[in-house]
Amino acid sequence: MSLADAGWLWPVVLAPFVGSFLGVLVTRLPTGAPVVIGRSVCDACGRRLGIVDLVPLLSWLVLRGKCRSCRQPIDWLLPTIELAAIAVPLWASLPEDAPPLWPSALLGWALLALAAIDARHLLLPDALTLPLIPAGLGIAWLTEPDRLVADLYGTILGFLVLEGLRLVYRRLRGREGLGFGDVKLLAAAGAWVGWDGLPSVLAIAALSGLAVAALLSLRGTKLTATSKLAFGPYLCLGLWLVWLYGPLALG
């Protein structure tokens, strides 16, 4: 699949509405608020939002990023995640030997929500991470049955590696260094890219996380051994890149 084909069109057309739903997920799921039921309201004044307030991207532009009633700023995350949701299927169409587009788009949208939630709340909800495991194995069974064993091993290995590191760190330092959500996310990564893709996922996650920490330090943010930093967004980035482009080439 590439941009020269027409198959990318429908995921892109649907992407703003998917992004709007992801915005609801990111804001409601960590608080336990209902996601599917319940009307959307302004966070500042509580006014129920109508259809004209909820058109992805267009409403935000027309309203100039402010609530129509109280004129308080709309959370910047909402238009950002809608734009990012459009970028997901476009990006997934670019690689020359890209995986099937719809599985890639669904994976990318799930990772987008997970990264946003973890960045904001230091949380990787089971409702999003755990379904990725059967989804990844199911995609392998349907599209590349020869990869199914490698993906099964990857799921087990992904869980054992990070869970082992988490337990060792807690034993040595007396506190948590990794969340259990990260463990489950790496297990999900194994289900999508197999055991042979996991080292690249971890390498990309570690390097990108260190790069962001270095940038924060340069900007004056004081980081210590007890600073809480989300690792989930970097695992999501690593999984996304390895899924689209394959493991890192060594040598």
Lowest mean pLDDT among 32-41, 165-174, 176-185, 229-238: 32-41
Lowest mean pLDDT among 21-25, 216-220, 235-239: 216-220
Domain ranges of the chain: 1-98, 123-251
What mean pLDDT comes out for the span 109-133?
95
The secondary structure of the chain, three-state, reads CCCCCCCCHHHHHHHHHHHHHHHHHHHHHHHCCCCCCCCCECCCCCCECCHHHCCCCHHHHHCCCECCCCCCECCCHHHHHHHHHHHHHHHHCCCCCCCCHHHHHHHHHHHHHHHHHHHHHCCCCHHHHHHHHHHHHHHHHHHCHHHHHHHHHHHHHHHHHHHHHHHHHHHHHCCCCCCHHHHHHHHHHHHHHCCCCHHHHHHHHHHHHHHHHHHHHHCCCCCCCCCCCCCHHHHHHHHHHHHHHCCCCCC
* pTM of the model as a whole: 0.89
Asked whether the predicted pLDDT for residue 89 surpasses 70, the reply is yes
The per-residue pLDDT of the chain, averaged, comes to: 86
Lowest mean pLDDT among 20-24, 28-32, 181-185: 28-32
**pLDDT at 87 (0 to 100):** 95
